[in-house]
């Protein structure tokens, strides 16, 4: 399995968001929430409306507390204004919103979220349609590797390049070393590339 990379360009993020919005508000929310909270896809897909909506006023909550699927640890994350507006807008389009309903509900069953594989398909298909992923004649990916982990890595990459300390990101991602976090969000590869490109000896 190839390692997926973060989406580094803000312009590409916006194009991807626009494409997903044309598909559905659910798919747009999946992407925007994913790149803004840095959760694993397993934790995103198990979110219910009770987790993210204040049912007294139907506004998005300021923060969410979950138990991580992989680590079984309690995690608290905050919801910014872009994600809040999307959650509220998406909820307003549904016939009914009940606390136990999954946010990313499968169209085949109201009692199940979309699968991890379907989430991968949504993101990968969008990436291919906007030219982020290229395939050869046999359908094999030859350029760009996008997956559900791309969202989490994109969150980390842009947080770091915007000034968030590596120590804080280590805590958010529950990593054991700075190098692990830098490698995870694609910074080490960027740094290596810069070394090669800035070396113009001769």
With a CB cutoff of 8 Å and minimum separation 6, the contacts of 58 are 88, 91, 92, 97
pTM of this structure:
0.90
The span from the CA of 41 to the CA of 2, in Å, is 17
| Strand ranges inside 5-110, DSSP E | 53-54, 59-60, 63-67, 74-78
Q: What is the tens place of the pLDDT at every residue in 34-86?
A: 999 999 999 999 999 999 999 999 999 999 999 999 989 999 999 999 999 99
Catalytic residues: 40, 70, 149, 152, 175, 184
Q: What is the tens place of the pLDDT at every residue in 166-196?
A: 999 999 999 999 999 999 999 888 888 888 8
Cβ atoms within 10 Å, residue 98: 11
Are 82 and 57 contacting, i.e. CB atoms less than 8 angstroms apart? Answer: no
The span from the CA of 65 to the CA of 87, in Å, is 16
């Amino acid at each position: 399995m190839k390692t997926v990379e973060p989406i580094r360009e803000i312009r590409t993020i916006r194009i991807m968001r626009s494409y997903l919005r044309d598909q559905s508000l659910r798919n747009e929310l999946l992407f925007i929430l994913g790149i803004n909270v840095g959760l694993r896809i397993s934790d995103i897909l198990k979110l219910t409306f009770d987790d993210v909506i204040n049912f007294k006023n139907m506004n998005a909550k300021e923060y969410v507390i979950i138990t991580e699927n992989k680590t079984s640890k309690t995690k608290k994350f905050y919801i910014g204004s872009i994600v809040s507006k999307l959650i509220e807008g998406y909820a307003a389009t549904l016939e009914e919103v009940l606390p136990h309903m999954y946010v990313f509900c499968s169209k085949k069953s109201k009692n199940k979220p979309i699968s991890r594989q379907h989430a991968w398909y949504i993101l990968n298909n969008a990436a291919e349609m906007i030219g982020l992923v290229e395939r050869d004649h046999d359908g094999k990916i030859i350029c760009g590797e996008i997956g559900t982990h791309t969202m989490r890595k994109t969150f980390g990459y842009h947080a770091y390049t915007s000034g968030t300390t590596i120590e804080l990101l280590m805590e958010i991602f529950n990593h054991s070393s700075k190098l692990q976090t830098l490698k995870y969000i694609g910074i080490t590869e960027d740094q290596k590339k810069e070394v090669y490109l800035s070396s113009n000896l001769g």
